Chain A
Amino acid sequence: MTFSLEHEQEALHKCKAGNREAFGALYEAYADRIYRFLFYRAFSREIAEDLTSKTFLKALENIHSYDARKGAFGAWLYRIARNVFVDHYRAERSTVDIEELFSLGEEDRLSERADAKEKLRRVWDYLQALPNEQRNVVLMRVWDGLSYREIAEILGKSEGSCKVMFSRTIARIKEEMPLALAILSFYSFS
């Protein structure tokens, strides 16, 4: 069964009317996405699970404060996840070693090619060196597959400024790393 916007609104209405059991439907609809969002930033299954639990628990307990006039429920949930992540990592490391990332990568075959790994390392290092906000926008758009509108709601910015920030960052990476990408182009990506 697909979870439509109508289902979401119905579940939200029930939750706000005091029937919090209806939150189960919202959890089912967003569990995968929120987990991935946190995993992409924590790079650890254990931490991602812990932060996913905290995110949904906070959402459940504060559902009465969600105001549909201020944005979509999904964006509200992502914002909680982001805050939970920031709280968790406030005093922790903010960078991830590329080897660690390779071990978690989607394309196992690539991690076996030393030359490709080297180029990816440069892309990754560049990403890591970006200011937090720019890196976040890139990851939200490309890894999380969020729309500019959703990103804007999560970050509390305008849709236009998010689009400009993303485009500028990609343009800069492309400009500064043309060689790194040349070798990667030998591989067919889907």
Chain B
Amino acid sequence: MRISEEEKNKIIEDICALHKDLASQREELRELLDALLLLRPRAEISDRFRAELRDSLVARARELSLRERETHHRFALPRFNYLLAGALASLVLLVGAVYLWGGEALLPGKPSVVAVHEKMFGDLSSREEGVPAGEVLGFGGAGGSPAISAPSGLFVAPSYRFEYRGVPISVPQSVRVLRRIKGDYASKAFADRLRKTELGIFDLSRLGNPLLQSFSLIEDRPYGYEIHVNLAEGNITINQSWVSWQGEEEQVGMPNAIPEDGVLIGVADGFLAVYGIDRDIYDTPLVSHDWRVFQNDPDFMPDALRVSYPAMITDNPVFESSGEQAGLSVLIRLRDLRVLSLWGLAAQSYEGSLYPAERDTDRLISIAEQGGWFSAFPTGLPSQRSDASSVLYLDTPFRGYVKSMRDREGTMEELLVPSFIFPVQGEEDGSHLSRVIVPLPREVLDSSWDR
């Protein structure tokens, strides 16, 4: 940072105004200022330090905010002494607080990522000495910090091979792995509210540090729904309430024809609007026709179809570990276009931590040509793909995330692993067979594939 001539002049004039005898020595004063400036060290804050400190401050800020809200809410509610008043208040608060609590959502739907320190989520490989790649602990299991690795054992080997036909690719030095922040705070806050309720036969206020894990609400009306809120996991599912749908199954019968995709999406959009679910945070909805892959009977007609709203985090699509696009799903009964259920509605707050990426693009392409995250595909593929000699061509990849669950010290963590998504040429049906996924963090690759 240099001081401007204007600023120097201002300093000199200030001095001269106070010391009239120096008015004729402006040049000497300027030289003195120059000398002082010459002695000033060069001080440039490093980008790395700047980013690291920012991460630390954001993490600390979040911690302080949560603590403050918790303290505030604990003392904010007056004590109700009447059973009815208590029950009503609790119900209103429980429902309302899911969406808004002091102006902020307890289970935020809008995706947000808080940057934390590098490699904050521990070693992603934790591969023991002597254990070959592909045999490390992948999902669940005990001991330390289990690795994230390619799923195994569920699939059989593919009877075709992949060949890369895209343009040369490049990879950044590091990529940000995301960890979903679950609803621990909501769980505590809800429980604090509930313990103030006079149940009559049990004194909830006597509970020590209670946490509300989940609760359900049922709409008491024809074709009502049961809403299940899992605070510990930070997600909500909606299902038809069997009590209010009872006896109507026989009257519905079978569908005559499969409605247009636009009709189904319209029904799903309407359902989301009724329940105040923000659809704008998702990518363009699409109707899943995966059933066609597995069903060879030309007369088969599904009872219901799923409309998917693909999840997007920081403008990148998210995929399940199965390879399917992740997001919100709405299942619609075709006969009368009623929504049967909704799932995948989850709080979207994440912590993001940088991990070294695999920059050897030959290795990435080689892994993609071996089938990527999946070493194999399910049986029962379309007949044209069962020819051992068939080749599927992979296009230039784009960036996305792949969900991976891991057991860390007894707690299931949901990680989003930055990955390359290689589209399979000519397979644009949106199914999990239309892409090959290759994770980018080097540790994850090393857990599953030998160098």
Chain A interfacial positions (CB closer than 8 Å to B): 18-21, 23-24, 27-28, 31-32, 35-36, 39-40, 43, 45, 48-49, 52-53, 56-57, 60-61, 101, 104-107, 110, 119-120, 123-124, 127, 138, 141-143, 145, 148, 163-164, 166-168, 170-171, 173-174, 177-178, 180-181, 184-185, 187, 189-190
Contacts and interface: CB of A to CB of B under 8 A. Distances in A.
Interface in B106-141: 114
A138 B56 CA distance: 33
B252 to A, nearest CB: 49
B72 A35 contact: no
Interface of B: 1-3, 7, 11, 14-15, 18-19, 22, 25, 27-29, 31-43, 45-46, 49-50, 53-54, 56-58, 60-62, 64-65, 68-69, 72, 104, 114
Does more than half of chain B's interface fall in helix, strand or loop, or is it mixed? helix
A189 B39 CA distance: 12
16 contacts: A20-B62, A20-B68, A21-B62, A24-B57, A27-B54, A27-B57, A39-B43, A105-B38, A105-B41, A123-B36, A143-B40, A148-B14, A170-B32, A174-B32, A177-B32, A190-B2
Contacts of A170: 15, 29, 32-33
Given A48-B43, A104-B41, A142-B33, A36 B62 contact: no
Contact of A21 (B2, B56, B65): B65
Nearest to A143: B40
Contacts of B31: 181, 184-185
Contacts of B27: 185
Given A20-B62, A106-B40, A173 B53 contact: no
Given A101-B39, A189-B37, A24 B61 contact: yes
Contacts of B65: 18-21
Given A20-B64, A53-B56, A56-B57, A105 B28 contact: no
Given A53-B53, A123-B39, A61 B64 contact: yes
A164 B18 contact: yes
A35 B50 CA distance: 10
A56 B54 CA distance: 9
B76 to A, nearest CB: 12
A40 B28 contact: no
B25 A174 contact: yes
Interface majority SS (helix, strand, loop, mixed), chain A = helix
B52 to A, nearest CB: 9
B433 to A, nearest CB: 41
Contact of B57 (A35, A60, A104, A164): A60
Contacts of A142: 3, 11, 33, 36-37, 40
Contacts of B45: 31-32, 35-36, 52
A145 B57 contact: no
A145 B7 contact: yes
A27 B52 CA distance: 12
Given A21-B61, A145-B3, A31 B39 contact: no
B61 A106 contact: no
Contact of A145 (B1, B14, B36): B1
A185 B49 CA distance: 37
A24 B15 contact: no
Contacts of A45: 46
Contacts of B57: 23-24, 27, 56-57, 60
A135 to B, nearest CB: 11
A40 B1 CA distance: 12
Given A18-B68, A53-B53, A145-B3, A40 B41 contact: yes
A31 B48 CA distance: 13
Nearest to B11: A141
Nearest to A160: B18
B31 to A, nearest CB: 5
Nearest to B29: A174
A36 to B, nearest CB: 4
A43 B3 contact: no
B15 A171 contact: yes
Contacts of A61: 60, 64
Given A106-B37, A120-B38, A189-B37, A18 B72 contact: yes
A163 B33 CA distance: 15
A105 B39 contact: yes
Contact of B41 (A20, A49, A101, A185): A101
A27 to B, nearest CB: 6
A57 B104 CA distance: 24
A157 B198 CA distance: 59
A24 B87 CA distance: 41
Nearest to B64: A20
B341 to A, nearest CB: 35
A36 B1 contact: yes
Contacts of A181: 28, 31-32, 35
B100 to A, nearest CB: 15
A145 B3 CA distance: 7
Contacts of A127: 36, 39
Contact of A56 (B34, B53, B104): B53
A129 to B, nearest CB: 14
A40 B39 CA distance: 10
A161 B363 CA distance: 68
A25 to B, nearest CB: 11
Contacts of A145: 1, 3, 7
Given A18-B68, A31-B54, 6 more contacts: A31-B53, A123-B39, A178-B28, A180-B35, A181-B35, A190-B2
Nearest to A96: B41
